[in-house]
Amino acid sequence: MQTYKKKILLKKIKDGGFHIFLKCKLNGIDSLVIIDTGASSTVFDSSLELINSSQFKKVKIEFHSLNSSDNNTFIGSINSFKIGKFSTKLDIVAFSSLDYINDLYQSIDLPKVAGIIGSDFLKKYKAIINYDERSLELKKI
């Protein structure tokens, strides 16, 4: 089992708490994602230019978060997902509009994100978040 470690960015929220950001590459494009341990599924923004809409399959599920609901959720894949030296193909991931998150982030001076890394991904790769070291550790068989 190979272990990979990557620095995370902890961004303080004005009213308290932190959000965890991670630099990655999506199909070769530098991107920024949120690590959300409370999200059940990994979701990427369906408006990303690097995603070819022909890769999508429309599904009859709704994507829900605390502040939004979206009926336009698609299933697709990302051929290359890299976090530092860690690399994988994401065969089945959800794509949905992340406008509500990015609009909120813009209003509190946080950067735009391309996706949300959820507990499905974190569990699969045995993720460990170390707040003191500001790092994410992933394990790949």
CATH for 42: 2.40.70.10
Across the range 42-62, mean pLDDT stands at 64
* pLDDT, greater one: 78 or 21: 21
Report how many domains make up the chain: 1
Q: Which domain holds residue 125?
A: 2-140
| pTM of the predicted structure, to 2 decimals | 0.85
Strands in the chain per DSSP E: 2-7, 9-12, 18-26, 29-35, 43-45, 57-58, 63-64, 69-70, 74-83, 86-96, 115-117, 128-130, 135-140
Mean of the per-residue pLDDT values of the chain: 86
Mean pLDDT within 92-112:
91
Contact of 117 with 94, CB cutoff 8 Å: no
